[in-house]
């Protein structure tokens, strides 16, 4: 792909990601927020693939778009009690949250402009074997702890969704 085409793809995907992320936090309905989050995850996966990080793109699709987002949608639908009220109402902290977000954007913009960008390619040609070696040797304990933590979170969500009087 040419430099102009890859730049255009990057900016279009960046606009989609920012738009869907804003939709996640501004939507009044929790299901809409979850579906917008799924769209954001898909756009991030496409961005990874366009930046030649194929393994990260595939993992983004499988884990986040396919797994986490579906779990969230299913959790929302299991715990939804049928009232037709907004499930994600605006509260009094929206102004403070906007100020904190604006300060964060300014600080991150300053950091990005002050640091020199590295030259050359960001991705090694063979990313899978290096990641597999690290996950199954060096970082095996944190990997297994994360798996147990996710399992316990799933069990807790099932217990919370079950309700008091249900069998």
Residues 132 and 77 in one domain: no
Residues 15 and 76 in one domain: yes
Q: Is pTM beyond 0.85 here?
A: no
Which phi-psi region, left, alpha or beta, contains residue 124 (left: φ > 0; alpha: ψ -120 to 50)?
beta
pLDDT by 10s per residue, the chain, length 167: 688 888 899 999 999 999 999 998 888 777 788 889 889 999 999 998 888 888 888 888 888 887 777 777 777 777 666 555 565 666 677 788 889 989 999 999 999 899 887 776 665 666 677 778 888 888 889 889 988 998 998 888 778 777 666 65
Query: In this predicted structure, what is the pLDDT of residue 106?
Result: 95
* Domain range enclosing 23: 1-83
Query: In this predicted structure, what is the pLDDT of residue 84?
Result: 59
| HSE of 42, CA atoms in CB hemisphere, 13 A | 11
Residues 17 and 72 in one domain: yes
CATH code (residue 52): 1.20.120.1200
């Amino acid at each position: 792909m040419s430099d102009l085409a890859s730049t255009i793809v990057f900016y279009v995907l960046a606009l989609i990601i920012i738009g869907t992320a804003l939709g996640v936090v501004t939507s009044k309905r929790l299901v809409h927020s979850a579906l917008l989050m799924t769209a954001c995850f898909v756009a991030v996966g496409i961005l990874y693939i366009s930046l030649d990080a194929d393994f990260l793109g595939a993992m983004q699709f499988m884990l986040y778009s396919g797994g986490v987002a579906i779990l969230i949608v299913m959790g929302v639908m299991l715990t939804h009690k049928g009232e037709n009220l907004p499930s994600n109402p605006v509260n009094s902290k929206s102004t403070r949250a906007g100020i904190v977000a604006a300060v964060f954007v300014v600080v991150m913009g300053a950091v990005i402009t002050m640091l020199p960008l590295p030259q050359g390619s960001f991705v090694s040609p063979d990313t899978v074997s290096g990641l597999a070696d690290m996950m199954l040797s060096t970082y095996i304990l944190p990997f297994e702890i994360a798996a147990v933590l996710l399992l316990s979170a799933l069990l807790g969500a099932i217990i919370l969704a079950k309700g008091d009087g249900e069998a």
